[in-house]
C-alpha cells in the first residue's frame, strides 16, 4: 500500500524516513499540535512550498533545466483565483473557473517558452525565463485595474473557508473547528495528493527519460527520444503544478499580490530550498521547504539573541542581524552546490551505505 503510494521510490535511509514521517505527522496534526495562528500560517506555507519546490525539482533536479520563471506560474495561479472571485461571486464555481483559466494560461505560456528556448543551451533557457518573468512582474504591477497593481487583490472566499465560519459548535480537543481549519486541511490534502502524483510522474518511464536527458541529452536523443518534447512536457507539468500551488497559497492568504507570488526573492527562496534539500529527489523538496520556511519564521528570533550577545564585537552584530538570515542560507547554498550536490537527502542516503 505504502509502496504503491510512494510509487516504489522509498526514502532509502532510516533517518530520512523518520524525518519525512515526522514532517508528515506534524503537518497532518498541525492545528492540534501547534496551536496559534502563526504556527498554522507556517504549516500552511510549508505545505504550499513543498508542492512548489517539488514541481521546480521536476525541472531542475530531474530534467536538468534551470528556469527563473517558476514564480510567474505560481503568480498566475494566485491571480487566477483572485481575479475570478472578485469579478464573479466568491463561490466554488468561481474558484474552479479561475483555476482552470490560470492552468490554461500557464500551460500555453510554458509550452511557448519551452518550444522557443528549450532547443538550445541550459544557459539560454535560464536567461530567457529570467527576462520573461521580470516582464510578467512588470505587467502585473502595470495593469492595475486587472491585478490591483502593487497593492494586489484581497478577495473573499466561499463561506466554508471563511475564518468566521464554524463547522462544529464545540471546540474539538481545544481547537476551534472553523473555516481556517477547513482551509488548512484542504491545502494539506491537495498538496499531499499532488506531491504523490509528482512522485508517480518521476518514477514512471517518462521520469526515467527525463533522468536520461539530464545525464546525457545527446545519448537520449540518439536512443530515439525527442528531447525537446520531453523537456517541454516536463516544463508544462512543472508550470501546472506551480499554478495549483499558487491557487492554494492565494486561498490561504485570501490575497494575491506581487510580493507574495511574483517577487524575484521568492524565486531565490525556491532555488535555496531545492538545492539545500536535495536536487533530483522529491523528498529533498519536503526537507528543503520545511527547513527553510521554519527557519524563515523562527531563525530570526534566534539571530536576534545572538546579535544581542555579540554586541561590542565589530561587524559581528551586523552579520548576525535578524534581517541577514538569508546571508547564512546563501553561504549554505554555495557550500551545498560544491560539496553536497545531492543536498541533505543525498547526504543521508550516502551515510547509509
CB 51 within 8 A of CB 245: yes
Query: How many CA atoms lie less than 13 Å away from 203 in the CB half-sphere?
Result: 17
Q: Is 156 helix (H, G, I), strand (E, B) or coil?
A: coil
Query: How many CA atoms lie less than 13 Å away from 139 in the CB half-sphere?
Result: 10
Stretch that binds other proteins, among 202-210, 234-242, 300-308, 321-329 (CB under 8 A): 321-329
Q: CB of residue 65 vs other proteins: minimum separation in angstroms?
A: 8
Report CA torsion sign: 278, 279, 280, 283: positive
The answer to the question of residue 108 lying near other proteins (CB under 8 A) is no
The answer to the question of residue 319 lying near other proteins (CB under 8 A) is yes
Residues 234-293 that bind other proteins (CB under 8 A): 264, 268, 271-272, 275
Q: CB of residue 218 vs other proteins: minimum separation in angstroms?
A: 14
- Looking at beta carbons only, is 248 or 279 nearer to other proteins? 279
- Looking at beta carbons only, is 141 or 260 nearer to other proteins? 141
Stretch that binds other proteins, among 31-39, 84-92, 254-262, 320-328 (CB under 8 A): 320-328
- Looking at beta carbons only, is 195 or 329 nearer to other proteins? 329
Tell me the per-residue interface mask from 36 to 75 with other proteins, x by CB under 8 A, - otherwise.
Answer: ------------------------x---x-x---------
**Of positions 321, 322, 340, 347, contacts other proteins by CB under 8 A:** 321
Report CA torsion sign: 268, 269, 275, 279: negative
**Of positions 8, 35, 171, 341, contacts other proteins by CB under 8 A:** 341
Smallest CA-to-CA distance from 253 within 37, 36, 33 is with 37
Q: CB of residue 133 vs other proteins: minimum separation in angstroms?
A: 9
Burial of residue 121 (CB within 10 Å: 0-12, 13-18, 19+) is exposed
Cell of 266: 521568492
The answer to the question of residue 304 lying near other proteins (CB under 8 A) is no
The answer to the question of residue 150 lying near other proteins (CB under 8 A) is no
DSSP 234-273: HHHHHHHHHHHHHHHHHHHHTEE-HHHHT-HHHHHHHHHH
Residues 172-191 that bind other proteins (CB under 8 A): none
- Looking at beta carbons only, is 164 or 314 nearer to other proteins? 314
Distances (CA, A) of 65 to 45, 199, 215, 347: 25, 18, 11, 23
**Of positions 28, 127, 192, 211, contacts other proteins by CB under 8 A:** 127
Residues 6+ apart with CB under 8 A from 337: 275
Q: CB of residue 11 vs other proteins: minimum separation in angstroms?
A: 24
The answer to the question of residue 333 lying near other proteins (CB under 8 A) is yes
DSSP 83-139: HHHHHS-SSHHHHHHHHHHHHHHHHHHHHHHHHHHSSS-HHHHHHHHHHHHHHHHHH
- Looking at beta carbons only, is 157 or 293 nearer to other proteins? 293
**Of positions 6, 39, 105, 126, contacts other proteins by CB under 8 A:** 126
The torsion region of residue 66 among left (phi > 0), alpha (psi -120 to 50) and beta comes to: beta
The answer to the question of residue 116 lying near other proteins (CB under 8 A) is yes
Contacts with other proteins, residue ranges (CB under 8 A): 60, 64, 66, 116, 121-124, 126-128, 130-132, 134-135, 138-139, 142, 264, 268, 271-272, 275, 315, 318-319, 321, 323-324, 326-327, 329-331, 333-334, 337-338, 341
Amino acid at each position: 500500500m505504502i509502496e504503491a503510494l510512494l510509487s516504489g521510490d522509498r526514502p532509502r535511509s532510516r533517518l530520512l524516513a523518520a524525518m519525512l514521517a515526522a514532517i508528515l505527522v506534524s503537518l497532518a496534526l498541525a492545528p492540534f499540535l501547534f496551536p496559534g495562528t502563526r504556527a498554522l500560517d507556517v504549516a500552511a506555507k510549508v505545505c504550499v512550498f513543498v508542492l512548489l519546490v517539488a514541481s521546480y525539482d521536476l525541472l531542475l533536479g530531474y530534467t536538468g533545466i534551470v528556469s527563473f520563471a517558476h514564480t510567474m506560474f505560481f503568480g498566475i495561479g494566485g491571480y487566477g483565483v483572485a481575479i475570478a472571485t472578485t469579478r464573479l461571486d466568491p463561490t466554488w464555481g468561481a474558484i474552479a473557473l479561475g483555476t482552470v483559466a490560470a492552468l490554461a494560461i500557464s500551460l500555453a505560456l510554458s509550452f511557448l517558452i519551452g518550444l522557443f528556448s528549450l532547443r538550445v543551451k541550459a544557459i539560454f533557457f535560464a536567461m530567457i525565463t529570467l527576462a520573461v518573468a521580470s516582464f510578467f512582474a512588470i505587467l502585473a504591477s502595470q495593469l492595475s485595474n486587472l491585478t490591483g497593481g502593487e497593492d494586489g487583490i484581497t478577495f473573499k472566499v466561499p463561506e466554508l473557508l471563511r475564518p468566521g465560519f464554524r463547522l462544529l459548535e464545540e471546540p474539538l480537543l481545544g481547537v476551534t473547528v472553523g473555516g481556517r481549519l477547513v482551509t488548512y486541511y484542504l491545502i494539506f490534502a491537495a498538496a499531499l495528493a499532488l506531491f504523490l502524483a509528482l512522485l508517480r510522474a518521476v518514477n514512471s518511464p517518462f521520469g526515467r527519460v527525463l533522468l536520461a536527458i539530464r545525464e546525457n541529452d545527446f545519448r537520449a536523443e540518439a536512443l530515439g527520444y525527442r528531447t525537446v518534447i520531453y523537456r517541454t512536457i516536463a516544463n508544462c507539468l512543472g508550470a501546472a503544478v506551480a499554478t495549483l500551488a499558487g491557487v492554494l497559497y492565494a486561498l490561504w492568504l485570501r490575497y494575491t499580490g506581487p510580493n507574495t507570488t511574483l517577487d524575484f526573492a521568492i524565486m531565490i527562496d525556491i532555488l535555496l530550498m531545492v538545492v539545500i534539500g536535495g536536487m533530483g529527489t522529491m523528498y529533498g523538496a519536503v526537507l528543503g521547504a520545511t527547513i527553510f520556511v521554519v527557519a524563515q519564521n523562527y531563525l530570526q528570533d534566534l539571530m536576534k539573541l545572538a546579535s544581542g550577545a555579540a554586541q561590542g564585537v565589530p561587524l559581528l552584530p551586523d552579520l548576525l542581524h535578524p534581517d541577514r538570515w538569508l546571508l547564512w542560507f546563501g553561504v549554505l547554498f554555495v557550500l551545498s552546490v560544491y560539496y553536497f550536490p545531492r543536498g541533505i537527502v543525498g547526504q543521508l542516503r550516502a551515510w547509509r551505505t
